[in-house]
Structure 1
Amino acid sequence: MPRYRFQIALRGEVIEDHEGIELAHRAAAIEHAIVAMREMLAEDIRQGCVDLTMRIEIIEGGGATVHVADCAAAMAAGTMPARRRA
């Protein structure tokens, strides 16, 4: 399985992912990034300081950036099925 790293650009800083995770394919990596982005946005909303410039760069094992997830993608309806709350 390919390894993907997720670098987060947030409030003028870049948080590098040095380990990454193995995922079956690029679509799974994009979904992972969007879910993470939504969780970070939700926490920002709870704290009252939302950064809409946040983005997550998805980097494949060879070092190439293959996708950039931004706030617009995370908030777009229909991007992926919504998770049900228990």
Structure 2
Amino acid sequence: MPRYRFQIALRGEVIEDHEGIELAHRAAAIEHAIVAMREMLAEDIRQGCVDLTMRIEIIEGCGATVHVADCAAAMAAGTMPARRRA
């Protein structure tokens, strides 16, 4: 399985992902990034400090950027079903 890294740009900082995770395909990596971004946005809303410039750059094992997820993609209706809470 390919390994993907997720570099987060948030509040003027870049948070590097040095390990990444193995996922079956690029679509799974995009879904992972969007779910993570939604979770971060939800936490920001709870704290009252939303950064709508946040983005997550998805990088394949070879170092190539294959997708950039932004807040618009994360908030788009119908992108994917919401996660169930335990």
TM-score of the superposed pair, with normalisation by structure 1: 0.96
- In structure 1, what is the equivalent of residue 37 of structure 2? 37
SS of residue in 1 equivalent to 2:9: strand
User: Hey, what's the Cα distance between the residues in 1 that align with 2:20 and 2:84?
Assistant: 27
SS of residue in 2 equivalent to 1:7: strand
User: Hey, what's the Cα distance between the residues in 1 that align with 2:71 and 2:81?
Assistant: 17
4+ residue segments displaced more than 3 Å = none
- In structure 1, what is the equivalent of residue 23 of structure 2? 23
Give unmatched runs, 5+ long, in structure 2: none
Shift of 1:81: 1.6
Give unmatched runs, 5+ long, in structure 1: none
User: Hey, what's the Cα distance between the residues in 2 that align with 1:12 and 1:24?
Assistant: 31
> RMSD of the TM alignment (CA)?
0.9
How many correspondences in the alignment?
Answer: 86
User: Hey, what's the Cα distance between the residues in 2 that align with 1:39 and 1:82?
Assistant: 10
Shift of 1:51: 0.1
User: Hey, what's the Cα distance between the residues in 2 that align with 1:43 and 1:82?
Assistant: 15
TM-score of the superposed pair, with normalisation by structure 2: 0.96
User: Hey, what's the Cα distance between the residues in 2 that align with 1:58 and 1:11?
Assistant: 18
